[in-house]
Amino acid sequence: MEFRVRIVTKNRNPVEPDKTAVAGRTEEPKKEIAISQLIGVAEAQSIAAGTHSDPFSVLGGHKTNAGYVVCAFDPGAEKMAALTGKNKVTEMMPVPDAPGVFVGKLARKAVYRLRGVAGDSQWTQDDPYRFSPVLGALDLHLISEGTHRQLWRALGAHVINHEKTSGTHFAVWAPNARRVSVVGDFNHWEGRRHPMRCLGRSGVWELFLPGVGEGAVYKYQIIDEHGILLPLKADPIGFGAEHPPQTGSVVRDLTQYSWADEEWMGRRGNLQNISSAITIYEVHLGSWRRIPEQGDRRISYLEAARQLVDYALDMGFTHIELMPISEFPFDGSWGYQPVGMYAPTIRFGPPNEFRALIDAAHAGGLGVLIDWVPGHFPTDAHGLASFNGSALYEHADPREGFHQDWDTLIYNYGRSEVANYLIANALYWLHEHHVDGLRVDAVASMLYRDYSRKDGEWVPNKHGGRENLEAIDFLKRLNEVVYGECPGIMTAAEESTSFPGVSRPTDHGGLGFGFKWNMGWMNDTLEYIQHNPIHRKYHHHKMTFGIQYAFSENFILPISHDEVVHGKGSMLSKMPGNEWERFANLRTYYGFMWTHPGKKLLFMGCEFAQSSEWNHDVSLDWHLLDYEPHRGMQSLVRDLNGLYRDTPALHVKDSNPAGFHWLDLYSEAESVFAFARFGNPGDPPVVTVCNFAPVERENWRVGFPEPGQWQQILNTDATVYGGSGRGHVDRISTENRHWQECPQSAALTLPPLSTLVFRFVQHQ
């Protein structure tokens, strides 16, 4: 059966007048055109079924042999018209056997809008399929090549003005898909309504949706290469997300923020290098502080901009390190299983409020680091797993692409587009949110193919070895790019093995990180401090061994969240003895840590000796500050931060063996340690003496590297910190008595469980 459209045209031949006249008017001749001349029925049916792989070849306006034809699809419309010019209306005809598909012919190519009618309802909208592509050849080339460093500016959802029309441009990489559609409230989550345009062989699909703007919730509906409809997917480069447990992406306009931190950004490089005083306060925003009067809710980014920033500054920390901010589905993962790598979690507010937190920190002179997780991602159906129906971001072989410990997937670092996705993500946080550095999580799991695997459960590299060569190349490239593009930033690796050169430059054979967490020091010293003092003499080496490798990397000494969770107890509960001894032990340990070579990191709550193990579902126990011992511990950490910052000998050579010398290394039986720290020429040296026994040591002789007067600048047994007040002196004078390889020495009184720190003042 053939269906025809009656098209009305004017007779433009002046020689042959119209042959029909009605009531004094000339009637225009009528010409019938078959619908089959305007659109193929099979194509129309494919559009209606949502299976057409190239919707732009059918929908929108097209110049054909029959003229300029407009085709539209709206399954909710009973009638459809194209509106052009000044209220000019061209009625469109429904295509039989293709419900929702309408076709019509315009007199000429023109900008048009669509008017739909259903019952008493009528609506007018721009046709997404009349717009030209947004992405250009350079973007597509760089994406295909895996070198697009500003990937987030090409892909994702961007509120723009395109061809004089406001809306949102959506773009996503799904190279193996047969069809990709944008779905959301704006189209009733109907995947047939807005299928996207595939841009050649790039694997990129894009669509500009007029009228869609900030706050719109969306996902991608994908049909894989086998014709299977996949679970709806969140945007891999979405800038916003719904509140969990909802999993949609949210359109966020990142252009609407004015930064006020230019001064900080210009000077931060001088505050984040190996000679700087760096003390980091690690924070889980969801449990740092809650509002009990309001249902125990979490604080927001804006509240943290005041409360957290003010607190960290008052405590003397130089940096805040936020546990992963990237959007994640499960609270219990603390953010370490992210799905929205480009979205600051909505748990605390939208992206611009996160930026306000960064701005506030910078205004106070406080750096902000974030934990960044390129090592694995969760298997959640709305995430990256089998994104377009096959292994895209992950390895297909579970021996390479699955973490058994965490039930997560591993990125395919050897695929250029995947490596680019991650490196661009790092740049995104540094450029768009002005974070000052990245602490890269679980680096050890990336470096080794046999990480936490038995024989036969992993695939050797091309040389037959266990090293993950692709991950190693990725990490090197990451550090080269971020340090090259973002002046003054820092990167730190959580790497728990002895992999060589983690913080060595890549042109010297290293991975290129700025710093490495010293996990060995942390494990050894925590093991030592948990022993009963009477047994510590058998574990003396746990406190001294770290110096043997302390300068092989640029180390950060971490007491992180991992040490106060999962049955490990709080830092205070690790300490042996009665209540007074527990506090004294912890004060002594902190004194040792802050004067030992290496930058410092302390997890929230440890600064006031939280009694209970950390629980991510509740606030820290701030009420403990009503009690003197906890208040004293907080005061000690505040003073340690100030001492470390203001004493060059304690930080300028943290990564240089010339900055350290053992004075008392072999007093195992007494559990005493003494060492000297040195800065640059002219910086007064410092001597630290630690007594990890619960007994006082009188007349304990210590060698001093300079003759003359030394001022006591810290005594962890001071009453202001909750101590007994013993061992306090203002100044001491050395004697001309050779001791511990020093020509001069002094006899000290060492309080039980205490750390004493002395700074050289003047020669006698």
Q: Give the sign of the dihedral formed by CA 368, CA 372, CA 378, CA 384.
A: positive
Question: Tokens 């205490």 belong to which residue?
Answer: 754
| Predicted local confidence at residue 39, as pLDDT | 84
Three-state SS for 99-127 is: CCEEEEEECCCCCEEEEEEECCEEEEEEC
Residues 6+ apart with CB under 8 A from 88: none
Pairing of strands 60-64, 67-73: antiparallel
pLDDT value at residue 14 = 40
Residue 355: phi, psi to the nearest 5? -60, -35
Report the C-alpha gap between 271 and 490 in whole angstroms. Answer: 10
How much is the pTM? 0.93
Whole-number Å distance between alpha carbons of 515 and 31: 78
Catalytic site residue from 359, 436, 494, 524? 494
Given CA atoms 620, 623, 629, 634 in this order, what sign does their dihedral have?
positive
Question: Tokens 């093995």 map to which residue?
Answer: 497
Return d(Cα 554, Cα 552) in angstroms, integer: 7
Enter the DSSP assignment of 95: P
Residue 360 structure tokens:
């506030």
In three-state secondary structure terms, 662 is: strand
Of the residues 43, 359, 436, 441, which is catalytic? Answer: 441
Structural contact between residues 760 and 708, judged by C-beta atoms closer than 8 angstroms: yes
C-beta of residue 105 within 8 angstroms of C-beta of residue 68: yes
How many other CB atoms are there within 10 angstroms of residue 612's CB atom? Answer: 15
Instruction: Count CA atoms within 13 Å of residue 476 on its CB side.
Output: 17
Asked if 435 contacts 369 with a C-beta cutoff of 8 angstroms, the reply is yes
Helix axes 137-145, 416-432, angle to 10 degrees: 120
Q: Answer yes or no: are the C-beta atoms of 380 and 446 closer than 8 Å.
A: no
Q: Which residues of the chain have pLDDT under 50?
A: 1-31
Q: Name residue 296's amino acid.
A: D
Dist CA 657 CA 633 (whole Å): 30
Full set of structural domains in the chain with CATH: 4-130 (2.60.40.10), 137-250 (2.60.40.10), 263-517 (3.20.20.80), 658-762 (2.60.40.1180)
Torsion of CA 716, 721, 723, 725, to 10 degrees: 80
Q: Which residue has the tokens 């007494």?
A: 670
441 is an active site residue: yes
- Amino acid identity of residue 207, one-letter, is L
DSSP tag of 614: P
Strand pairing report for 217-224 and 490-493: unpaired
Instruction: For the beta carbon of residue 700, count every other beta carbon within 10 angstroms.
Output: 20
Q: Determine contact, residues 159/214, Cβ cutoff 8 Å.
A: yes
Rama region for 340: left / alpha / beta (φ>0; ψ in -120 to 50; rest): beta
Q: How many whole angstroms separate alpha carbon 309 and alpha carbon 299?
A: 13
Query: What six digits make up the tokens of 50?
Result: 């949502």
CB atoms within 10 A of CB 194: 24
- Reading the block at residue 247, the tokens are 């999993």
Q: How far apart are CA 174 and CA 154, in angstroms?
A: 14
**DSSP readout, 140-158?**
HHHHHHT--TTGGGTSEEE
Q: How many helices (H) and strands (E) does the chain have?
A: 16, 41
What DSSP string describes 633-645?
A: HHHHHHHHHHHHH
Nearest Cα to 184, choosing from 161, 157, 164? Answer: 157
Average pLDDT over the chain reads 94
Which tens digits make up the pLDDT trace of 462-486? 999 999 999 999 999 999 999 999 9
Are 286 and 298 within 8 A, CB to CB?
A: yes
Active site residue 494: yes
For residue range 712-753, list pLDDT tens digits in order.
999 999 999 999 999 999 999 999 999 999 999 999 999 999
How many CA atoms lie within 13 Å of 122's alpha carbon, on the beta-carbon side? 3
**Could you give the CA distance from residue 155 to residue 549 in angstroms, rounded to a whole number?**
44
Q: What is the DSSP string of 214-268?
A: TT-EEEEEEEETTSPBPPPB--TT-S-BPSTT---EE---TTS-----HHHHHHG
